[in-house]
Amino acid sequence: MTVDDTYRDIRVLDLSTNIAGPFAAMIFGDLGADVIKIERPPRGDDTRSLPPHYKGEATVFLAVNRNKRSLLLDIKKPEGRDALMRLVETADIVIESFPPGLADKLGLDYASFKACNPKILLCSISAFGDGPLGKMMPGYDALVQAVSGLMSFTGNEDDPTVRIAPSVLDLGTGMWAAMGLMAALVRRQKSGAGEHVTQALIDTAFTLMNHQLMGYLATGQMPKKLGSGAPSAAPYGVWQASDGEVMIATASEAQFPRLCEVIGIEHLVSDDRFRTMVGRLENRNALDGAIAEKIALKSVGEWLSLLGDAGISAGRVNDLEEALALDVTQERNLLITDSTSSLPQIRLPIDSRGNGIKCPPPALGEHTVILLREAGFTDAEIDALL
């Protein structure tokens, strides 16, 4: 798929902060929309201050804010709110992630936006929605991982509970928000009416846990911490070779005998404990131990060659430096470096050539004056706002 300014006539006002909302807005920016990031003084988006930094800019901010123009505007002040509403008149989409109750307090709820622009699409992103829990506290990715149950089966058995390191709920919610808004745009073509799209991180968490949830609902059995293992397949996990770690994934009955033959434990194929997948799951620890003894005797490279020839899925456990050096990273054009920045950007999966990456994330307030002038503000009005 290539990106060719599909959404070039769409204007998005990004009032959100952190990751989920900005990522949703960036998706539209990569698709060609005019995305205006409205940031509150004095520091702008909360992620701008987070380490690590690259040339004075936070890398978290750089990851989810390209293809945007930055407008510094204090929307908590009446004059700032009025200026925002003038911009809403020209917009198609507003994305916000205000803390509980703030939108109503500032008069920046859907009713207010709709009164200004009946065709506006508002996307509100929260941790837990509008119910009692959502109104009680703002939430971040890690908090929702904990509350949703996602952390309860993450990590190794008997180890302290841990979070999934990437911000999977923030990024997942940003994707759902973008898809929800795309669907709303299609509906608006037919109805001519605006719409309020709501997304919550808790929804994303339940969706990501769909097969664990279905398994629990069907059997009453809680999912367990399995480390690198899988709940429905064994042997499946990471083993220590002589010079590193190797991931081995066998998810079918046919693969198990081949694995046993390659690593020299053929006798386990006829062992009653391991004849079926159910048996292998019930006796996972014993099986994993037997495999570990053999894997430790050879290098990762040796095992990858032997297992590959046998049609067994296996791979080296790489760190980021090693992963970035893989041929597939270049083959898939995963990192894009343009003339405006020496720091590569990660292309979206829907943009196979990276054509949508057109400008780097903006400096704080970089486009304030030009955007206000585009909206018809006089120099005197601009001076009053700055």
pLDDT digits (tens, 9 = 90+) for 220-275: 999 999 999 999 999 999 999 999 999 999 988 999 999 999 999 999 999 999 99
Task: Assess whether pLDDT exceeds 90 at residue 386.
Answer: no
145 and 164 Cβ atoms separated by less than 8 Å: yes
Q: Which of 14, 170, 288, 351 is catalytic?
A: 170
* Domains with residue ranges and CATH for the chain: 11-208+333-385 (3.40.50.10540), 236-324 (3.30.1540.10)
228 and 219 Cβ atoms separated by less than 8 Å: no
The verdict on whether 170 is a catalytic residue reads yes
Exposed/middle/buried for 18, CB within 10 Å: 0-12, 13-18, 19+?
buried
Tell me the pLDDT of the chain averaged across its residues: 95
The pLDDT, as a whole number, for residue 135 is 82
Task: Assess whether pLDDT exceeds 60 at residue 1.
Answer: no
| Global pTM value | 0.95
The pLDDT, as a whole number, for residue 208 is 97
Encoded amino acid at 255, one letter: Q
33-37, 168-172, 339-343: segment of lowest average pLDDT: 339-343
DSSP designation for 153:
G
With a CB cutoff of 8 Å and minimum separation 6, the contacts of 61 are 45, 47, 48, 50, 361
Examine residue 42 and say whether the peptide bond preceding it is cis (omega within 30 degrees of 0). yes
pLDDT category at 338 given cuts 50, 70, 90 is confident
The pLDDT, as a whole number, for residue 139 is 82
200 strand-pairing partners? 126
| pLDDT tens digits along 262-320 | 999 999 999 999 999 999 999 999 999 999 999 999 999 999 999 999 999 999 999 99
| pLDDT tens digits along 135-157 | 887 789 999 999 999 999 999 99
The pLDDT, as a whole number, for residue 3 is 64
Exposed/middle/buried for 238, CB within 10 Å: 0-12, 13-18, 19+?
middle
Element housing 62 (H / E): helix 59-63
Mean pLDDT of 120-128: 97
Mean pLDDT of 359-381: 95
Most distant pair of Cα atoms in the chain: their distance: 86
The pLDDT, as a whole number, for residue 380 is 93
Give the Cα separation of 366 and 38 in Å (integer).
Answer: 11
Share of residues in the chain with pLDDT > 70 (%): 98
Mean pLDDT of 14-42: 97
The pLDDT, as a whole number, for residue 137 is 75
70 and 364 Cβ atoms separated by less than 8 Å: yes
Where does 237-375 have alpha helices with state H?
255-263, 277-282, 284-295, 300-309, 320-324, 327-331, 368-374
Give the Cα separation of 247 and 240 in Å (integer).
Answer: 9
Q: Show the tokens assigned to 33.
A: 């929309």
Phi, psi (5° rounding) for residue 236? -160, 110
